[in-house]
Amino acid sequence: MSAKSVTTATFQADVLSSGKPVLVDFWAEWCGPCRMVSPILDEISSEHGEKLTIVKVNVDEEPALAQQYGITSIPALQVFQGGEVVKSIVGAKPKPQLMADLSEFIN
Amino acid sequence: MREVIIIGSGPAGYTAGIYTARAGLNPLLIASSVEAGGELMKTTEVENYPGFPTGLQGPELMDAFRAQAERFGTEVLLDDVIEVDLTGAIKIVKTGGGQTFEAKTVILATGAAYRELGLPKEKELSGHGVSWCATCDGFFFREKTIAVIGGGDSAMEEANFLTRFASKVYLIHRRDTFKASKIMQERALANPKIEVVWNTEVAELLGEGKLSGIITRNTVDGSTKQLDLDGLFIAVGNDPRVWLVENQVELTAEKFIKVEGRSSKTSLPGVFACGDVIDPTYRQAITAAGSGCVAALDAEHYLADVK
């Protein structure tokens, strides 16, 4: 399952109002490490999609969202729960480390 | 059992892949899960790689290296090596994904990892104003004031690249001359958005949750100053990545993997090393590629002898 793209227009419905925790992957085409993390997130989404929703924000297309959430480095992964950022992960990490960082949401 | 396992996927690793694959050794190249392609994945324009007179992008060059290695049968695995046992005749390599491989030879091409300044708050502010990747993060500093720390080619390249976004780039260096190549220095010195701050090091990082500035220290007279910044890009060099093997193969005094003469032979039979992990001096894509070729040929000769 490939992660859905969200925009400023859909952020409220898809992320802030979600009943489930939502991991937002802030990424860009020109970011090499982002391209490496993306298939790992797709795998985590396939394996744990019922507990954690994974979506993407393209920072080139949605600079306002990136700015609003203080993104200065990508890939940046932020987990939202009840409309708030509850976890922030910066930089590309291998799958076992990401799984460990996200353990409270996927176990 | 494999004939050859290559650990690393920069110019050295992929070149070792091309040569061992063409020698019919069916190599497995373990490329890393999120850092495949190595350092060049973080650079933009590569102008000094021979054969490309108009230059090309670092990631584009690495895609070409990989395609050429795969064309001859190199198997590329996007996983991380977490443990090795290289001491016996059969080498054992374990990955983060949970696989264990055995091979008669191992080629270490693990490269170098960026160096940190070693200051308090560096980790906490990493990704919140402190960065090691201008190509990844420059975008977020449009019309902002930032600084680049370092005096080598990568510091020059980052400073120049960042002027596309930032309104002002301080280039801070602890000495009064750069060790970067002349062409890179000239570009940085001629760039109107770059202000060079000589004889200066970073004494302290400022900011809570987000970088707000730094305290600089003059390396000649010791005087300190506060500099307000939105971003700080660190390019103070790299350290050879040897943690996997440091208790098994002999290292040099500077902690590079020690190789015999002009060869790639390490202190262990059947274990070869190439690229930045053995090179304290040159560290270019082209020298790493050449070194990867040496390791492939050494592994091939070793395998012919043990048969």
Q: What is the topology classification, in CATH, of domain A4-101? A: Glutaredoxin (3.40.30)
CB contact under 8 A, A72 and B34: no
Per-residue model confidence as pLDDT tens digits over B119-130:
999 999 998 999
Which residues 128-147 of chain B have a CB within 8 Å of chain A? 128-129, 131, 133, 135-137, 139-141
Cβ–Cβ under 8 Å, residues A24 and A83: no
Collapse the DSSP code of B104 into the 3-class scheme (helix H, G, I; strand E, B; otherwise coil) and give the result.
strand
Cβ-count burial of B8 within 10 angstroms (0-12 exposed, 13-18 middle, 19+ buried)?
buried
pLDDT of residue B108: 98
The terminus-to-terminus CA distance of chain A in angstroms comes to 19
Collapse the DSSP code of B196 into the 3-class scheme (helix H, G, I; strand E, B; otherwise coil) and give the result.
strand
Name the closest residue on chain A to residue B60, using Cα atoms: A32
> ipTM for the complex?
0.84
Structure tokens given for B212: 């707000």
Structure tokens given for B162: 């960042």
Nearest to B275 by CA among B260, B293, B261: B293
pLDDT of residue B145: 98
Find chain A residues with C-beta within 8 A of B127's C-beta.
72-73, 76, 90-91
The one-letter amino acid at A102 = L
A28/B contact by beta carbon, under 8 A: yes
Lowest-confidence segment of A59-68, B42-51, B179-188 by average pLDDT: B42-51
Structure tokens given for A30: 């020109």
Ordered domains of chain B (ranges, CATH): 2-114+238-306 (3.50.50.60), 122-234 (3.50.50.60)
Domain ranges in chain A are 4-101
Lowest-confidence segment of A29-33, B36-40, B293-297 by average pLDDT: A29-33
Q: B247: which residues sit within 8 A by CB, 6+ positions away?
A: none
pLDDT band at A107 (very low <50, low <70, confident <90, very high): confident
Per-residue model confidence as pLDDT tens digits over B3-28:
999 999 999 999 999 999 999 999 99
B42/A contact by beta carbon, under 8 A: yes
